[in-house]
Amino acid sequence: MAIKTLLIDDEPLALAELQMMLKPYADIEVAGTASDVRDAVHKISLLKPQLIFLDINMPGKSGFDLLEELDEAPHVIFVTAYDQFAIKAFEIDALDYLLKPVNSQRLAEAVEKVKRQIRTVSKTADRLGIDKRIFIKDGEHCFFAPLADVFLIESVGNYARVYYQNKKPMLHKSLNYLEERLPDSHFFRTDRQHIINIHFIRNIHPFLNNSLQVEMHNGTIIDISQRQSVKFKEIMGV
């Protein structure tokens, strides 16, 4: 099955050239193009591409700003004339980074990376799969956080602090929103302030008024509210 792809660039000639260069690749299906972030957000929602070729420096909002607006990020190959973005692009785990004008050999290498890494996954209407990644733009830093690595999410005002590996960036989403989107096979809302990944629990301790405490793999202690403790016991068979 061909990889559904969206091309995003504010330069019509660059879009046309890249579209022509991708024509020989039967594994790449160019489902559409977009010329700015607003257009791209709409078409990503509509077309649900597996892959985007993304220009970084666009008028108004950048390619990094686009990724911040997405609930889940497709695989990304950056295409830009500005090589100073290269390090930042790889910091957020882009599949590849192509400089304009695009070299045909480098494009072939990027397509091979796509074919190796993209896998067909089942998609649900409401919840993200545990194999997904979420894009987080925290100040000048950008991250692709694999959901499987996220062990704790903490409410901080209108933001959520996402703990994974040795990182803890701030995501501009509410805990209520995340609770509805995260896979409930892994994530559990313990109280008003926290969501935990139950696969990272080290110990479970009884606490006040029949409630529970959990110790995460890194030693963090999280209280489970009395109400949520009842649900937790049912889920975990405690």
Structural domains of the chain in order of their starting residue, each with its CATH number: 3-117 (3.40.50.2300), 145-236 (2.40.50.1020)
Predicted TM-score (pTM) of the model is: 0.55
Residue 78 is encoded by which pair of tokens? Answer: 């950056």
Q: Are 94 and 113 in contact (CB under 8 A)?
A: no
Distances (CA, A) of 143 to 38, 99, 163, 184: 21, 21, 12, 23
Q: Are 198 and 188 in contact (CB under 8 A)?
A: yes
**How high is the pLDDT of residue 95?**
76
Cis peptide bond N-terminal to 169, omega within 30:
no
Task: Give alpha helix (H) positions in 165-208.
Answer: 175-181
220-231 mean pLDDT? 94
- Each residue's pLDDT tens digit, 2-12: 899 999 999 99
- Each residue's pLDDT tens digit, 133-157: 888 988 888 888 999 999 999 999 8
Which residue carries 């692009």 as its tokens? 89
87-93 mean pLDDT? 58
Between 237 and 68, the more confident residue is 68
Cα dihedral 107→111→112→113 (10° resolution): 100
Reported confidence tier of residue 90, pLDDT bands at 50, 70, 90: low
